A and B are shown apart, each in its own frame.
Chain A
Amino acid sequence: MLLQEATALSHPLSGSIAELVWLIPLLPFIGFLINGWLSIAPAYHRGPRDPSANGHHGAAHGDEHAHDASGGAHGDDHHAVVRHKYAALVSVIGPAVLLLSFGLTVAILMAMLGVSREAPFVRTLFSWIPAGDLHVDAALQVDPLSMVMTLVVTGVGALIHLFSVGYMQDDPGYPRYFAYLNLFVSFMLVLVLGASYPVLFVGWEGVGLCSYLLIGFWFTDKANADAGKKAFIVNRIGDFGFLVAMFLMFANFGVLDFAGVSAAVAGSGLNTPLVTTICLFLFLGCVGKSAQIPLYVWLPDAMAGPTPVSALIHAATMVTAGVYLIARSAFLFSLSPSAQLTVAFIGALTALFAATIGLKQWDIKRVLAYSTVSQLGYMFVGVGVGAYVAGMFHLVTHAFFKALLFLGSGSVIFAMHRAYHATHRHDDAQDMRNMGGLRRYMPITFVLMWIATLAIAGIPLFAGFFSKDEILGAVFARAGESTLAQTPWLGIPGSALLYLIYAMGLATALLTAIYMTRMMLYTFHGPSRAGGAEQSHLAEAPWIMTGPLVILGVLSVFGGWLNLPELLPLGPVGMLEHWLEPVVGPATAAVTGGGGHVSHGTEWVLIGVAVAIAALGIIIANVRLKPERLVPKVNAPPEQGIERVLANKYYVDEIYDALIVRPILWVSRNILAKGIDEGLIDKVFVTWIGAGIPRLLGWVGSRLESGQVGTYAWVLLIGVLAVLGAFTIR
Chain B
Amino acid sequence: MLAESLALSAVLFTIGAIGVLTRRNAIMIFMCVELMLNAVNLTFVAVSKVYGMAGQVFVFFVMTVAAAEAAVGLAIIIAVFRHRQTVNLENINLLKG
Measuring CB to CB, which residues of chain A are less than 8 angstroms from any residue of chain B?
Answer: 701-710, 713-714, 717
Contacts and interface: CB of A to CB of B under 8 A. Distances in A.
B89 A708 contact: yes
A705 B96 contact: yes
Contact of B97 (A705, A709, A710, A713): A705
B24 A710 contact: yes
Given A707-B96, A717-B17, 8 more contacts: A701-B97, A705-B95, A707-B97, A708-B89, A710-B21, A710-B22, A713-B21, A714-B21
B24 A704 contact: no
Nearest to B95: A707
A399 to B, nearest CB: 80
Nearest to B18: A717
Nearest to B20: A713
A710 B96 contact: no
B40 to A, nearest CB: 13
A497 B27 CA distance: 107
Contacts of B93: 706-708
Contacts of A701: 97
Contacts of A702: 97
15 contacts: A701-B97, A704-B97, A705-B95, A706-B96, A706-B97, A707-B93, A707-B97, A708-B89, A708-B90, A708-B96, A709-B92, A710-B24, A710-B89, A717-B17, A717-B21
B10 to A, nearest CB: 13
A714 B18 CA distance: 10
A668 B24 CA distance: 66
B94 interface: yes
B35 interface: no
Interface in B67-95: 89-90, 92-95
Nearest to B90: A708
Contacts of A704: 97
Contacts of B46: none
A713 B97 CA distance: 17
Contacts of A713: 20-21
Nearest to A706: B96
Interface in B19-61: 20-22, 24, 29
Interface residues of B, number: 14
A471 to B, nearest CB: 86
Contacts of A717: 17, 21
A707 B21 contact: no
Contacts of B94: 707
**Interface centre among B21, B22, B24, B29, by most A CB within 10 Å?**
B21
A721 to B, nearest CB: 11
**Interface centre among A701, A706, A708, A717, by most B CB within 10 Å?**
A708
Contacts of A705: 95-97
Contacts of B89: 708-710
A83 B24 CA distance: 93
A387 to B, nearest CB: 85
A229 to B, nearest CB: 56
**Interface centre among A701, A703, A710, A714, by most B CB within 10 Å?**
A710
Given A708-B90, A709-B89, A710-B89, A703 B97 contact: yes
A570 B38 CA distance: 121
A461 B58 CA distance: 113
Nearest to A698: B97
Interface string B3-22: 00000000000000100111
Nearest to B89: A709
A291 B63 CA distance: 92
Contacts of A709: 29, 89, 92
A713 B28 CA distance: 14
A706 B96 CA distance: 5
A703 B90 CA distance: 17
A701 B96 CA distance: 11
Contacts of A706: 93, 96-97
Contacts of A707: 92-97
A352 B46 CA distance: 108
Contacts of B20: 713
Contacts of B95: 705, 707
Contacts of B29: 709
A7 to B, nearest CB: 79
A709 B17 CA distance: 13
B35 to A, nearest CB: 14
A707 B96 CA distance: 4
A608 to B, nearest CB: 101
A648 B96 CA distance: 77
A173 to B, nearest CB: 66
A705 B17 CA distance: 21
Contacts of B17: 717
B13 to A, nearest CB: 12
A545 B21 CA distance: 101
B17 to A, nearest CB: 7
B84 to A, nearest CB: 14
A706 B89 CA distance: 12
A110 B20 CA distance: 103
B78 to A, nearest CB: 17
B93 to A, nearest CB: 3
